[in-house]
Amino acid sequence: MRAARLIHLVLLLQQRRRMTAAALAAELEVSERTVARDVAALTEAGIPVLAERGRAGGYALVAGYRTRLTGLDGREAAALLLSAVPAAVRDLGLDGAAGPARLKLAAALGPEAAELGRRTAERFHPDAPDWWRSTSTPPLLSVLAGAVRDDLRLSCRYRRGDGEVVERLLEPHGLVLKAGL
């Protein structure tokens, strides 16, 4: 329990730059005295946490310090972000775990990978498929998803209902996955 809290504390400081003891205590659901003990333990372990007293004080990591708990790249981060269908997370009672997981993921990524993960979460909106309907993956879904993810244009040709062949240049900005479609 304490190890997880210490990691959470470091990741919070990494993401938010500076936090007061009261804010950390509230986020970690512990007392301010426990925060002070945890900061002392982190400092003793070699994590460069600075403590500043006074009205504008608080805790911060030394400028430039970053922890990398994993070697996730942007595509892996995007896959993890998309795998958490919000309704399913809520329905399974995992809401409380989703926030810290996203924080850990964001802290583990470098700036470029974090940006790709953020853009992916903004642009793709998965929804769980219906149970009573069978689904099949559209043949060009991965091509379309790649174009949305990488800001690419798509040239496509299709046959309309009246038989006429139409060519279009598309600039896809997002993709909604609804009920597996």
pLDDT digits (tens, 9 = 90+) for 27-63: 888 999 998 898 898 888 888 888 888 877 789 888 8
The mean pLDDT of 16-34, rounded to a whole number, is 89
Return the pLDDT at 159.
93
The mean pLDDT of 7-11, rounded to a whole number, is 83
- Which residue matches tokens 């583990």? 108
Q: For domain 2-61, give its CATH number from 3.90.1150.10, 3.40.1710.10, 3.30.470.30, 1.10.10.10.
A: 1.10.10.10
Return the pLDDT at 154.
92
DSSP-assigned states of every residue in 93-126: T-HHHHHHHHHHHHHHS-HHHHHHHHHHHHHEEE
Report residue 162 CA to chain centroid gap: 44
- CA 111 vs CA 3, 59, 73, 151: distances in Å: 26, 22, 10, 18
User: Residue 156: how many CB atoms within 10 A of its CB?
Assistant: 12
Q: What's the token pair of residue 140?
A: 């060009």
Q: What predicted TM-score, i.e. pTM, was given to this entire model?
A: 0.44
Is 88's pLDDT higher than 80?
A: no
The mean pLDDT of 130-137, rounded to a whole number, is 64
Return the pLDDT at 179.
58
- Which residue matches tokens 């149970």? 131
* 104, 65 contact by CB (below 8 A): no
Euclidean distance between CA atoms 104 and 96, whole angstroms: 13
Q: What's the token pair of residue 67?
A: 């922890």
Euclidean distance between CA atoms 94 and 91, whole angstroms: 8
Average pLDDT, the chain: 76
Residue-wise pLDDT for 74-83, tens only, equals: 555 555 555 5
Q: What is the number of alpha carbons within 13 Å of residue 146 lying toward its C-beta? A: 5
For residue 152, the one-letter residue type is L
Euclidean distance between CA atoms 95 and 87, whole angstroms: 10
In the chain, ranges of CATH 1.10.10.10 domains: 2-61
Pairing between β-strand 175-177 and β-strand 124-126 as defined by DSSP bridges: parallel
